[in-house]
Amino acid sequence: MDIKEITRDKSLGMTIIVKTISRLIVSFILVFGLYIVLYGHITPGGGFAGGVILAISYVLLILAFGGKVAVAKMSGFWASMWDNLGALAFVVIGFLGLIGGYFFLNFINHGTPGKLISAGIIPLCNIAIAVKVGAALYAVFLALSIYGRISTEEDE
């Protein structure tokens, strides 16, 4: 089924008020999460907090529209795939430091402190951790709210 049809299906998810508000707000949450991740080395925040915000924007989709819309946007398979890719990217960044000397060496030029593109590998590590944490928490919430439902309930 097309994703627009599932979104308009009135039997799924919550009421129309919740759906409209969350449709307006979800993109702002996503952008705020990206801001927290990308500016993690300059302002408070970083990969862990930003990753949880990214996961929350998808959790809002699950809560408001039901699990089907969220699965159509990103299925459980792709969520665990992003989880693994984030963890792998973090380890690979660590091993790339070996070309300069030791594990997790900050091998990229540090640049001017305080600018967005600075601090070598720290923004890259932040992005990898954010992808890992966000995808992992989204996957586990998807599993808790869809697969973890008691089988006697009828709305599966």
Interacting residues toward another protein by CB under 8 A: 36, 40-49, 51-53, 55-56, 59, 63, 80, 83, 87, 90-91, 94, 103-104, 106, 110-111, 113-114, 118-122, 125-126, 129, 132-133, 136-137, 139-141, 143-145, 147-148, 150-151
CB of 111 to another protein, least distance (A): 6
Please provide residue 79's backbone torsions phi and psi, each rounded to the nearest 5 degrees: -65, -45
CB of 30 to another protein, least distance (A): 14
Cα-Cα-Cα-Cα torsion 79, 80, 81, 85, nearest 10 degrees, comes to 100
Q: How far apart are CA 35 and CA 40, in angstroms?
A: 8
Closer Cβ to another protein, 2 or 152, answer by number: 152
Closest CA to 116 of 16, 37, 42: 42
Q: How far apart are CA 122 and CA 133, in angstroms?
A: 16
CB of 146 to another protein, least distance (A): 9
